[in-house]
Amino acid sequence: MAKSKTMVYIISLIVLSIFAIVVLYSLSYIPLFNISAIKMYGVSDVSAPLEKLISSYYNVNRFKIDFSKEEERIKAFCQVEDAIIRWKFPSTIEIHITETQEKCLLFDENGYYMNKAGRLVELDSDEASFLKDKMVIIEVLPEYVSYLKTYGIRGQLDNVLSLIAAVGEENGALISRIKYDNNNSDSFGQIVITLASLSSQLFVKERVSKDRISDSIKVIRKEAESEVSTYTKKSMIRYDLYKDALVKRLSSGDINYGK
């Protein structure tokens, strides 16, 4: 008796599955469900490749679109941290995008890269063009890029990148170039900030706070605005920033500004 009930249950499941497949197949050919409107939430602008992907949903039947698969495709873009697609009966889909919280891109002679969940991801030309004007650009050596591709971005470096991004955002009007040097280790390395309009470079030699770096830039700006010597017009003045001192390097001797 129990065996008979089991057989009936299995047959019922098979029949229901076949029925569902037939219904779904039939719905996928009804023009009423062809996507005619797409609404985007969470972003005001998207890159050309992402826009192309999203536009490809137009005129496609809703039942031919695998939302889970398309969400993963959208999340693969560096601009996107998360994506949810919802269907609004009968022919509208809503795409809710959470943009990346990353504030910087790494750059070397071969292209642009971004930290995505701890992995260093290389941007194609369209994504790079879209993001590079919205983010702080940090120059690194190709050898360091290779190191990061192998071992990922974690711990110390993640914190360093966040620090540089915060400094870049706050002082973007003055900063013309940021370079990060590291000998492929977990040490702090060195941040080199070029202030071309002030004919100065700030070498951050030790881990310090964002405010400490920004305050040092203010000191350099004040110094440059009051400088009357002609040598400042000919070459960059170097400042070294340590935890306890900002040191101005001069050929005739160093000037220590202390804390």
pLDDT digits (tens, 9 = 90+) for 36-52: 999 999 998 999 999 99
The model's pTM: 0.83
Helix, coil or strand: residue 131: helix
Q: How many residues does the chain have?
A: 259
Give the pairing of strands 190-195 and 104-108. Answer: unpaired
Count of C-beta atoms within a 10 Å radius of residue 237:
20
Condensed to tens digits (0 to 9), the pLDDT of residues 84-128 reads 999 999 999 999 999 999 999 999 999 999 999 889 999 999 999
249 strand-pairing partners? 238
